[in-house]
């Protein structure tokens, strides 16, 4: 009986801790969940019936003012994990051949991050045009494109899995580069690209 009364309070406290951590993301090892609670969570946020890539792209593109405050959506190397303040969770598998890396170039301020949170991570350069160049370890160009950072200051990149290389971002005559990998242990949130 006591456990039933404490469960909602504990779930709310856990969500509050995640929000206070800023760019932190839930760290769980649950398999994809098709339960009624999981389905309800997705439906309540107009995400039901969507695959993980579509959900990631949709949430990342939302203006910050329109992002749901009761939803945490964390991108892990192999899945998207969602949770809400009601304690409901859902997990959607990412494409087997693609890896999602969210990059936040900055000039003056940044934050520590490992797994990108689509609803709470905020970078410095919001709605800013940048050139993104991705090369693999042998120097082959994987991507060379102009992007506009999302309202949260991040550029989301869908890259091939199991490669290593360098991500370079250019803006207004300044440049930043960072080594990266897209393996099972790699971060999905890259926040150390300081433009100089």
Claim to verify: residue 11 and residue 89 sit in the same structural domain = yes
Give the β-pairing of 98-103 and 189-190. parallel
- pLDDT range class, residue 135, cuts 50, 70, 90: very high
Q: Which of 71, 93, 115 is the last residue of a domain?
A: 93
Give the β-pairing of 79-84 and 89-93. antiparallel
- pLDDT range class, residue 193, cuts 50, 70, 90: very high
196 belongs to a structural domain = no
Structural domain for 64, as ranges: 2-93
Claim to verify: residue 65 and residue 115 sit in the same structural domain = no
pTM of the model: 0.82
| pLDDT (mean) for 83-111 | 96
| pLDDT (mean) for 39-48 | 92
Q: Which of 62, 93, 124 is the last residue of a domain?
A: 93
Q: Is the pLDDT of residue 23 over 90?
A: no
Rounded Cα distance, 175 and 180, in Å? 16
* Buried-exposed string 9-42: b where 16+ CB fall within 10 A, e elsewhere: eebeeebeebeeeebbbbeeeeeebeeeebeebb
Claim to verify: residue 62 and residue 130 sit in the same structural domain = no
Rounded Cα distance, 79 and 85, in Å? 20
- pLDDT range class, residue 24, cuts 50, 70, 90: low
Inter-residue contact 141 to 76 (CB < 8 Å): no
DSSP-assigned beta bridge partners for residue 98: 160
Angle at 144 between CA 169 and CA 188, to 5 degrees: 55
195 belongs to a structural domain = no
């Amino acid at each position: 009986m006591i456990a039933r009364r404490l469960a909602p309070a504990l779930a709310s406290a856990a969500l509050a801790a995640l929000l206070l951590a800023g760019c932190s993301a839930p760290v769980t090892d649950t398999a994809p969940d098709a339960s009624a609670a999981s389905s309800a969570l997705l439906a309540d946020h107009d995400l039901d019936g969507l695959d993980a890539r579509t959900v990631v792209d949709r949430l990342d593109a939302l203006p910050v003012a329109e992002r749901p405050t009761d939803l945490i959506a964390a991108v892990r190397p192999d899945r998207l994990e969602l949770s809400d303040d009601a304690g409901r969770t859902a997990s959607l598998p990412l494409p087997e051949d693609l890896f999602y890396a969210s990059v936040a170039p900055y000039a003056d301020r940044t934050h520590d991050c490992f797994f990108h949170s689509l609803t709470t991570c905020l970078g410095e350069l919001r709605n800013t045009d940048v050139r993104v160049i991705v090369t693999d370890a042998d120097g082959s160009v994987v991507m060379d494109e102009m992007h506009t950072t999302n309202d949260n200051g991040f550029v989301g990149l869908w890259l091939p899995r199991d490669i290593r290389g360098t991500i370079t971002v250019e803006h207004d005559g300044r440049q930043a580069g960072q080594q990266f990998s897209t393996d099972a242990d790699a971060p999905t949130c890259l926040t150390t690209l300081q433009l100089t």
